[in-house]
A = this chain, B = another copy of it.
């Protein structure tokens, strides 16, 4: 068994502090001093572990995206491959579950969204994530719709997810996952042929 070094402890510790700080005071006030204090370490350590503030921000975004990817993958692995509607709903659900909907993460993500437009490193991460979501959605929707229709519905679903998520981030109460899933789910159900709803119903019943 290898000894776990400090990097494995410090990096997540600082990333989580970053999310907390950005969530609470905003990106413009998230200085390394404040983040360091929130993590209970000295400011100098950030340059040591991430090469600088930019490195920390990139690592933080990467962390959030990875978390989402993990959740989605886990969700899909538990979903019946014969139930494409269920799988699409699973993808949607992933976007409104776990750490993703905590106000701090929502705030952080929004800050990154804004920053990504002018920061190549963040922009690339953002693009990868966007494409993955679209490709996941399209892959499942193709089982229920024509390629053309699948593409445009995928875009709509992705937009709906982001929109619900964005509006939730700006609401004092935060994101309401149930409402979000319900609204996105309704849209999808209204778009796919009826028989996929039946399959989905049966699959759910079976899994219980």
Contacts and interface: CB of A to CB of B under 8 A. Distances in A.
A116 B166 CA distance: 12
Nearest to A126: B170
A24 B127 CA distance: 19
* This chain's copy number in the assembly: 4
B113 A170 contact: yes
A164 interface: yes
A159 B130 contact: no
B170 A116 contact: yes
Sort chain A's interface into a size bin. 35 or more
A76 interface: no
A26 B167 contact: no
Interface string A166-199: 1101100000000100110011001100000000
A25 interface: yes
A111 B110 contact: no
A118 interface: yes
Contacts of A113: 110, 114, 166, 170
Interface of A: 24-29, 107, 110-111, 113-119, 123, 126-127, 130, 152, 155-156, 158-164, 166-167, 169-170, 179, 182-183, 186-187, 190-191
12 contacts: A26-B118, A27-B28, A29-B118, A110-B113, A113-B114, A114-B114, A116-B170, A152-B182, A152-B186, A156-B186, A159-B160, A162-B163
A-B pairs with lowest CB-CB distance, top 4: A163-B163, A159-B163, A26-B118, A162-B163
